[in-house]
Amino acid sequence: MSTEAMKKTADGELRIDFRTSPDHYRHWKFSVDGRVARLALDVDENATLFPGYELKLNSYDLGVDIELYDALQRIRFEHPEVGSVVMTSDKDRVFCAGANIRMLSQSTHAHKVNFCKFTNETRNGIEDANDNSGIRFIAAVNGACAGGGYELALACEHIMLIDDGSSTVSLPELPLLAVLPGTGGLTRLVDKRSVRHDRADFFCTTSEGIRGKRATDWDLVDEIVPRSKFDDSVSERAAEFAAHTDRPADAKGIALTPLSRTIEDTRIVYDTLTVDIDRDLGTATIIIKSPSGDLPVDLAGIEAQGAAFWPMAMTRDLEDAIMELRVNEKQMGTWVFKTEGDARQVEAADKLLLDNADHWLVREIVLFMKRTFKRVDVSSRSIITLVEPGSCFTGTLLELVFAADRSFMLDGTFEGSNQPEATVVMTGMNFGPLTMPNGLTRLQHRFLNDPSLVEDAEAELGKPLEAGDADDLGLVTFIPDDIDWEDEIRIAIEERASFSPDALTGMEASLRFAGPETLETKIFGRLSAWQNWIFQRPNAAGDDGALKVYGSGQKATYNKQRV
């Protein structure tokens, strides 16, 4: 972690930095051999994010997962030749023991929630790479695999378990800790791997785990391999999977150069956006700027700009800002999105992406944008978007209007201003590539029961729409004029700050994901919600709860009342 990570937040907590690189890894060994990448977990038990625990048995904290996420991003962007990834362990007879129990026991509730959300997003990203990037993941389970370790394996397409007479897979959280396998474990078990309900029930209440033939018979793993043949079999399977990728073997990746970021007391400054903090109102205003320089004219130009290509640079900055605000600015309960700059430049950037959608790099940039906007969707913050004169809510950036819990667009201009009226412009990016966790575009979600309204919107593709037209199409919530603008925005923000943050989080999460359920919505809307409730219950987190007394020799005391 960088030295900035050790600075204190406004709450007096240690600041967590999500920026890292392979030369700073303490827990993962990352290598590439031809078409196959290898990610081997070898946790440094003393390199913890916070003091007070040791990362024994390849257990992990948020710092371990930050490295994993960075490695996955580098595989996507820096190594286009990679078609399969082997996730394994470099520790003898242990794959991964899951989230570190001591870390969870001493963590605040907020840190537990943020930790689980980030790890869930990382595992969803593994599946996204498998489904959409042509990168197939193999979990080479070469030792004991428990809890979050098995949840990591479940995110992979193919699980290979070593048959050595002792290695097992298990989800022991309920019997040992009185919590759930909250990083997708329960959901992936029955929804993804289609394990029978009764077998899943037995498996999740059996702390010793399952190995050998029963593990394959119950679809807990895909194959078991004798120790003597394990390494060769994993290599064969990885080569077989990589041979079917559509990623180019001879392409050159782009370097994920370090982000430029300056953190001040009430401001965070990036190359493509700024975040203004108002601690009295509890708001973070995120102002995204349109491309400032010349955009490339073709694929060669996109590749030459690399990480500096505006869609890529903006998405990296926005993602880091989201993580910074989630973890280090927890009192900022309302995020206000604004944009400024040339809408035509944003439209031109979208056109470059759409015209070159089949190219591996453009595909990865668009998938990255999709995942980052999903981070907005699942963040436990109120989202307000303001469309004012001088803004550039076009195409990709217009998604932030559709993602908002409430959006305001100025009808007309501000008195005394010479700026033209605010407009919004839809592009092809709003009609397919940037889907939500429920698998729908934000416009499909917006007009869930009337697809004709999506068609009406699409008929206005590429047209600058002023407030009245945007309102007629249902694209914004309110269109106050300049007389009412300031008061309406102030009231909306102050009202939000007066409500219970807990109730707002529950309401927003319930309203944001209408329509079909997917693996992602079940994980975030059901499994995570139950886990976050359980994390606060005395049976887990009380002084005599299982999470607190684990490892002490003391038996947990449970309140037997079902609620």
Residue type present at position 128: D
| Residue whose structure tokens are 């098995």 | 150
10-residue block means of pLDDT along the chain (563 residues)? 59 92 98 98 98 97 98 99 99 97 93 95 98 98 98 98 97 94 94 97 96 97 98 98 97 98 96 98 98 94 98 99 98 98 98 98 99 98 98 99 99 94 98 98 97 98 98 99 97 97 95 94 91 92 91 91 88
Q: Is 4 helix (H, G, I), strand (E, B) or coil?
A: helix
What sign results for the dihedral spanned by CA atoms 54, 58, 60, 63? positive
Q: How far apart are CA 496 and CA 161, in angstroms?
A: 50
The span from the CA of 319 to the CA of 391, in Å, is 20
Q: With respect to CATH, is domain 13-242 assigned 3.90.226.10? A: yes
- The pTM assigned to this predicted structure is 0.96
Fold of 272-426+473-497: 2-enoyl-CoA Hydratase; Chain A, domain 1 (3.90.226)
Phi/psi region, residue 12 (left: phi>0; alpha: psi -120 to 50; beta: rest), is left
Q: How do 261-263 and 267-270 pair as beta strands?
A: antiparallel
Residue with tokens 């919590």: 179
Q: Is 432 left (phi over 0), alpha (psi -120 to 50) or beta?
A: left
DSSP 8-state code for residue 256: -
**Comma-separated ranges of CATH 3.90.226.10 domains in the chain:** 13-242, 272-426+473-497
Q: How many Å apart are CA 307 and CA 310, to the nearest integer?
A: 8
Strands 223-226 vs 158-163: parallel, antiparallel or unpaired: parallel
Quickly tell me which residue has 């195409």 as its tokens: 395
Per-residue pLDDT at 3? 41
Rounded to 5 degrees, φ, ψ at 380 are -85, 60
CB 162 within 8 A of CB 141: yes
Note the pLDDT of residue 2. Answer: 42
CB of 534 closer than 8 Å to CB of 180:
yes
Q: What is the Cα–Cα distance from 362 to 354, expressed in whole angstroms? A: 9
Task: Determine if residue 462 is left, alpha or beta; phi over 0 gives left, psi from -120 to 50 gives alpha, anything else beta.
Answer: left
Backbone angles phi, psi at 529, to 5 degrees: -65, -45
The beta-strand segments (E) located in 341-381 are none
* Side chain identity at residue 450, one-letter code: D
Rg (alpha carbons) of the chain, rounded to whole number = 24
Strand 84-89 versus strand 36-41 pairing type: parallel
